[in-house]
Each structure stands twice: as structure tokens, then as C-alpha cells.
Amino acid sequence: MNAIATADLRKSYGDLTALAGLTLDVPSGELFALLGPNGAGKSTTIRILTGQLRPDAGSASVLGVDPVEDPVGVRERIGVLPEQESPPSFMTPREYFDFVASVRGIDDDALSERVETWAARLSFREKLDTLNTDLSRGQQQKVMITGAFLHDPDLVFIDEPLVNLDPIVQETVKRFLESYRDDGNTVFLSTHDIDVAAELCDRVGIVREGDLVATRRPAELGEGERLLDVFLREVGDGAASVDGPTGSGGAHDR
Ligand SMILES: Nc1ncnc2c1ncn2[C@@H]1O[C@H](COP(=O)(O)OP(=O)(O)OP(=O)(O)O)[C@@H](O)[C@H]1O
């Protein structure tokens, strides 16, 4: 079963075409990453899938729910960590988690257990009662990651999951994402970190000019073939003239 399915998603901002007919499936239980150059349409895709933005055309299904028809229904079932989002500056992490719990309907016992688990996992226990504004960027990222997983969703969307995290915490988050996937959940990442995508993900999709131009399984790349080379081939200056992957033929596994 697909956790995410889109068909011919289109979105323009005025004259600017951000999504030009993006079609994408992500099966349940997959750790998936969307790669693409700046402005390719990754955040627009995530905003549509998480019910924050209406597409101009096309369809989408997230855990069987239509994010256009029922954005609240989608948001109830997923976790989201948007790009460059910080926890509210006037709250402490604990107060922010209380707020998330009230919105998400998490009971007190589950909340305190999960906060303890995450604060220990990501090493920020001693900061639970410090104002978010006084946390470092990495500590704020830890709070945001915790908030995205607090209600134990079946699917999470994370933009740049490892940004600002030290190497030890990066490893912890990577191993957590793998175990979360191994439990049958789905992860949808957006990242510029091709090495992390190659190491961590079951499959990556490459977006160029608002269209999915390729998908690859990093584990199945050929001898000596690097995901970076695939990426450059698909989105680099010469890509259109070499392969012509501008969308009409759709994405392809090779
Ligand atoms: N609110 C908006 N109003 C006008 N144009 C927008 C808006 N949001 C995005 N765009 C434009 O749509 C295109 C796609 O943007 P989007 O943020 O989806 O790209 P992205 O792949 O996430 O980029 P990046 O890797 O730089 O974060 C860009 O050209 C961007 O300038």
C-alpha cells in the first residue's frame, strides 16, 4: 500500500511554475528522500502533501486521506518538521511539548514518558525548562524533531533532518529513522545532503523544475556509480541535452 501517492500535481505562484505535473508514489514502510536543486519544488510538494497548500491541479493521497479535501485529517495522522522551523521563542521545550500534546491529544502519562525518552535520546534533558530562544540552533532542532514524533505518527515529513546537529546526534537520528522505518512507518525527507540520502534511504526521488525526473535505490547503484553523479546528470546543465528527462517520460528506476 502507498503511504503517499500523487498524480500530476501542479502549482504556480503567479507566473512561476513551481510544480509542473509531479507524480510520485511512496510505499508504506519506506525511507524516502526528495532531492533537487534550490527552487525545484520540494517544499511546495511537502506543503501540499501536509495540507498547508492547495495545488492548482492534480491529486494527492496521504495515508489514504486527500490533503486537499481533508487537510486536518491528514495533519492529525502525520508528523511534520518544516524547513527552518524553530520552536516558539517564548516557551520552554517542556511547554512546547505540552502544547503539542494538547493539539495532538496525547495523554499525560504517554507525554511524560515520550518527552523523557526523546530528551535522553537526543541529549537535551538539562534544557527542558530553558526558554527556546536561549537554546542553540542544534538544540532547537532537537526540540522540533521531538515535537514531530511526539504523537507517534505513522508518517513523518522532515525537511533537512540533520541540519545543525552534531555528528553524534546525527548518528542517533539516522539510527532512529531506520528503526522507525523498520517498525513499518514511513519517512519522507527533503534534503540537499546526498551522502545522507545515499546512506539512509531506501529510495530517492530527484526533482527538477517541478517534476520528478528520476528515482533510484541507493543500494542498487552500479559498481562505482555515486548518487551524486546521478543527481548531477539529472539536474546539471547538460542534463536536458544528454538525457532529456524534463518530465514528459516520467521518472524511472534504473
Ligand atoms: N509563496 C511563494 N510565492 C512565490 N513563489 C514561491 C513561493 N514559494 C515558493 N515559490 C517559488 O516556487 C519555486 C519552488 O520553491 P520550493 O520552495 O518548493 O523549492 P525547494 O525545492 O524547496 O527549494 P530549496 O531547496 O531552495 O528549499 C521556487 O522558484 C520559489 O521561488
The CATH number of the domain holding residue 112 is 3.40.50.300
Atom from ligand 1 closest to the CA of residue 36: 21
Atom from ligand 1 closest to the CA of residue 47: 18
CA 38 to ligand 1 centroid distance, Å: 8
Domain count within the chain: 1
Is 134 contained in some domain?
A: yes
Is 152 contained in some domain?
A: yes
Is 196 contained in some domain?
A: yes
Instruction: Name the E strands within the chain.
Output: 2-13, 16-27, 31-35, 57-62, 78-81, 155-159, 186-190, 203-208, 211-216
Does residue 15 line the site of ligand 1, with CB under 6 A?
no
Domain span at 48: 2-242
Please give the ipTM for the structure prediction: 0.98
The whole-number pLDDT of residue 253 equals 52
Is 251 contained in some domain?
A: no
Is 27 contained in some domain?
A: yes
Residues 6 or more apart in contact with residue 19 via CB below 8 angstroms: 9, 10, 11, 41, 44, 45, 48, 55, 58, 210, 211
Is 247 contained in some domain?
A: no
Is 248 contained in some domain?
A: no
pTM equals 0.91
Does residue 42 line the site of ligand 1, with CB under 6 A?
yes
The rounded distance, in Å, linking the Cα atoms of 92 and 74 is: 27
Q: Which residue ranges in the chain fall short of pLDDT 50?
A: 238-251, 254
CA 44 to ligand 1 centroid distance, Å: 6
CA 116 to ligand 1 centroid distance, Å: 36
Is 29 contained in some domain?
A: yes
CA 214 to ligand 1 centroid distance, Å: 20
